[in-house]
Every structure is written in C-alpha cells, then in structure tokens.
Amino acid sequence: MSDNLYRDTRGRCPQAVPFTQAVINGLADGGGLYVPEHIPTLTIDEICELAHMPYAKRAMFIYQVFGVDLPDDQIETLMQKSYGENFDTDQICPITSLDAQTHVLELWHGPTSAFKDMALQCLPHFFSASAAKLREEGTLEHEFLILVATSGDTGKAALEGFCDVDGISIGVMYPHGGVSDIQYKQMATQKGNNVCVWSVEGNFDDCQTGAKNVFGDATYAAELSERFNISLSSANSINWGRLMPQIVYYISAYSQLVAEGKLEAGQLLDICVPTGNFGNILAAYYAKRMGVPIGMLFCASNENRVLTDFINTGTYDISSREFILTPSPSMDILVSSNLERQLFELTGRNADAIAQWMDDLKQEKRFRIDPETFAAVREQFSADAVDNATCLETIKSVFEEHDYLVDPHTAVALHVAQNLRGENPVLVASTAHWAKFGNNVYRALHDMKPGEALPEDVAALSGCELNELIAQETGMFDIPAGLAALDSMPIRFTEVIEGNVSSIEDAVSAFLVEQQS
C-alpha cells in the first residue's frame, strides 16, 4: 500500500507529512489539525471478512489500507501489543444486543475501563515507533515527556498507555480533591518506571491553564532540551494517531454484527455516540466514508449541549454558555476540538472557511456555517441532549428492562438513540464501565436526584466498597479487576503542587532528574 500524507485543516502548512510525522507533531503548525489526503475505501466483502480475524489483525489491515509509513510486520507487532492480554476479552470490544434493533458496542474492556483505552493502548506504541523512525532518519533527536492535565479519566488512560513505553515519560496533573475516589486511586497507584502523577491545588481549569502555560514557555522548552534532551508533547485527542484506532472499531463492529447474524451485509446501521470532543463520532463518520453502510450519526449531548445546538442550528456559540457539571463528566466540554476536522470534510475540504470559523470562535466565541455546509451536516447528523435527571432515570429503566447496567455516558446515548431512531438498527457506543461512576449509578438505582447527597453510610464507603454494594444489590458482579483491586494497591504518588507555571516546571524537572539517576 502506498503511503498516505497528511495536511492541515487550516491550509497553513506548505508541506504534507507522513503518518509518523503527523503523530509526533500532534497539532499542525498554524493551529490546524492533520487529516489524511486520501481516505481509502473498502468493499462490503472486505469489511465482512474482518470478522474472521483477531481484532489486532483487523486494526493492522485498516492501518495498512490507510498507508501508514511503517513496515507491515512492525504494524502487526504494535497492534498485537495494543490489543492483547491488556483487554479482558479477546473480542476487545464485544457487542451486547438489548433487542434486535439496539446493539451496544462496549468500548471499556481495556485496562482503565473506559473507551479512551481503545486509542490510548495503541497510540503510545505508534508514537514511540514514529519517534524511533524519525530519529533514524535524522530529523528528530530528542525524547519525549507527555504532559497531561486531566479531570480524571484521560489521565489514567494515558498513564496506562504510556507506562514503560520506550523513549517516552509521562506526567499527569489532576485537581486536588477534584476527582472521585476511584479516579484518584487509579492514578495514585499507577505502576511503571517512566510515570509521575501530581495533585494540583485548584480545579481542572487551573490544571489545564498550568499545563498550557508550561507548553508555551519557550525558555523552559530550551532548558528541557539542553538538560534532558527532552521535548514536551500532549498526545491529546486531536492527535491523528488517537483517531485512527477509533475508526477501526466501527468497521470491526459492523463486520461483527453481520457475522453474528444481527445485520444483513450492506444493511444500513445508525450509530449513536455520547459526544464531548467529537473524536468518537468523527471516527464513525470516517468509517462511513470508507464504505461501511452507516446511515445517520446521532450526536448525544448532556446538559452541555453546544454540539446538539450546533447540529440543529448551524451556529456554534459559547459566548454566553456556562459550563455545567453533569453525571457524565467526560462530556462536559464547551470547545469540541475535533469538530474542526468534521467541518473540513463537510465543506469539501475548504481550509479557508475552517480558518475563518476557528478565528471567529476565538475572537467572538461563536461561528456560523454557510447554508451548504449546514445542509451537509444535517444529511449526516441528528442530535439531541439529555438532562441530568433523565440520564439517571435511563440507567434505572435500562437496568429494569434489560438487566444491563450502564454508566451515565452510555445512558445519555441510549436515551438519545431512543428519541432519534428511525427504521435502521442502532449501534450505541458505550464509553465506560458503570463501576467508574458508582456514585451516580447508586443515585440512579435509588431514585435519587442528580447531585443529591448520598446517605451517610453510603457516602462513607470507598469507591470499591460502593461498587461492591451496587453489585450485591443488582447482581452485576462483573466489576473489572483493575477497579476491584484498587483499595489493596499501594499508593505511589502523593505529591501536591501549586498550579503556577514555576511549580509545575520544578516538579517536571525533579521527575526528570530522578528518571536519569
């Protein structure tokens, strides 16, 4: 397969780059996002054939048709590392069908029990291999420190993905007292010789601003390079190397449904995705472009409904929108960065329009797309939002009707799928195991209101103990091993730091000094 090249959504990079360079760069110069010049297509036979291979081979095949500039045998090895024993089922992301028309794609069988694993168990290997290739070619000299600010889930998935990967260290910052007991223990007990975790005084915004300021500090970048031969990277969800593994599971899911006799080859399937940064649903769009018979894409929002309003009106407006805390925190987002790639595709790759809209968003906190692009959006997407109380009610009603327990993010998608569905069967992306969000699952099962204080004896339980209680009450004993064991694992990271630039930089340097010794 010939190599594909990547160019940027704002048309500001004169030169297109291969996959490996796009992965290492993350963001393109000029602020745009990388997209492939060529989107490969598959025949329905090729798609259905995938079900007869192990998941790692499916992923390898799709990377190959995309024209990744690494040798085939290396791609194969990396995919076997990405999708092997680290998942708790060899199906990797199995499908549970609630009825003949509703299929749930379980994307949480990886080590951290959330869908970020699907990408973050894969990207680090390709990041490391890409860096090694560029070093060999003489266009890269340094190694990397991945610096991540997290509100909880992404940090753990990144730690687990980059843990003990060659030539890369990872440091994660989370808001002190601002994450759940489970999330705290998942991060503070992280294993690996190349990892560090800091609790930062302040809220998530302070963490994120702190990280941004460190990334923007040219003097510190020079110091890192001189003292440690290290460059900072974020490997965040705009990295093309995180998007590609997500395309894989939609293609794979279609073939799986056909192989299980739940779908006729060629039959249209609608897809419903609980959406935050628009990465997951964008991957479904690319799968459709590649030839998978996908009908409508349903974008499910929580009370932070900026995307739903955008899809329904053509105006993206955060000028007077407040950030709302919901039971589905991984979708609590105002600026949805991967939407930029989607609009690039739906404008027929009009980089000038994208650059203008992104500029409007920055200056005026809103942008409005033209009528043709809006029509293209409406042709592909429908959207709906779910309020917090309805989210919790859905957890309970799905459990009562189907004896199936879902997390709040999946509940949002299930409810929206119910509202928007037409004649096609629907595949609902399930993005987290319920035991990651035990508090709200408990509230849902006990008819409590969103945010209502838990009974004192329940509030006193650790996250693991609460999950045990829920398991006893529901008979759902399938708590993933990585979550069930957290109370008995040694806490490794206890450092609390200030959120200002110099405190973070000092902590990073101290970690790197320790790494060298």
**Which residues of the chain form contacts with ligand PLP (CB under 6 A)?**
114-116, 153, 237, 274-280, 330-331, 409, 431-432
Question: What SS3 class is residue 138?
Answer: coil
Cβ 284 to ligand PLP shortest distance, Å? 10
Give whichever of 58 and 116 is closer to ligand PLP, judged by the CB atom. 116
Cβ 482 to ligand PLP shortest distance, Å? 15
- For residues 413 and 71, what is the distance between their CA atoms, to the nearest angstrom? 38
Cβ 398 to ligand PLP shortest distance, Å? 16
Cβ 302 to ligand PLP shortest distance, Å? 10
Give whichever of 42 and 331 is closer to ligand PLP, judged by the CB atom. 331
Query: Residue 174 is encoded by which pair of tokens?
Result: 């989370």
How, if at all, do strands 95-99 and 102-106 pair?
antiparallel
Q: Give the distance from CA 206 to its chain's centroid.
A: 21
- For residues 191 and 133, what is the distance between their CA atoms, to the nearest angstrom? 27
Q: Radius of gyration of the chain from Cα atoms?
A: 22
Give whichever of 28 and 432 is closer to ligand PLP, judged by the CB atom. 432
Can you state the percent helix, strand and coil of the chain, rounding each to 5?
A: 50, 15, 35
Give whichever of 25 and 277 is closer to ligand PLP, judged by the CB atom. 277
- For residues 361 and 330, what is the distance between their CA atoms, to the nearest angstrom? 22
Cβ 326 to ligand PLP shortest distance, Å? 11
Cβ 217 to ligand PLP shortest distance, Å? 27
Helices (H), 137-278: 153-162, 181-188, 204-215, 218-228, 240-259
Query: Residue 22 is encoded by which pair of tokens?
Result: 């796009």
Hey, which residues does 273 pair with through a beta bridge? 299
Phi and psi (nearest 5°) for 244? -60, -40
Sign (positive or negative) of CA dihedral 27, 432, 121, 172: positive
Cβ 435 to ligand PLP shortest distance, Å? 12
- What is residue 202's DSSP assignment? S
How, if at all, do strands 496-497 and 195-200 pair?
parallel
Give whichever of 409 and 421 is closer to ligand PLP, judged by the CB atom. 409
Give whichever of 114 and 195 is closer to ligand PLP, judged by the CB atom. 114
Give whichever of 153 and 505 is closer to ligand PLP, judged by the CB atom. 153
How, if at all, do strands 34-36 and 426-430 pair?
unpaired
Asked if 310 and 374 count as a contact pair (C-beta separation under 8 A), the reply is no
Give whichever of 33 and 507 is closer to ligand PLP, judged by the CB atom. 33
Cβ 353 to ligand PLP shortest distance, Å? 23
Cβ 384 to ligand PLP shortest distance, Å? 15
Phi and psi (nearest 5°) for 152? 150, -70
Give whichever of 5 and 333 is closer to ligand PLP, judged by the CB atom. 333
Q: Dihedral (C-alpha) 270, 271, 274, 275: value to the nearest 10 degrees?
A: -100
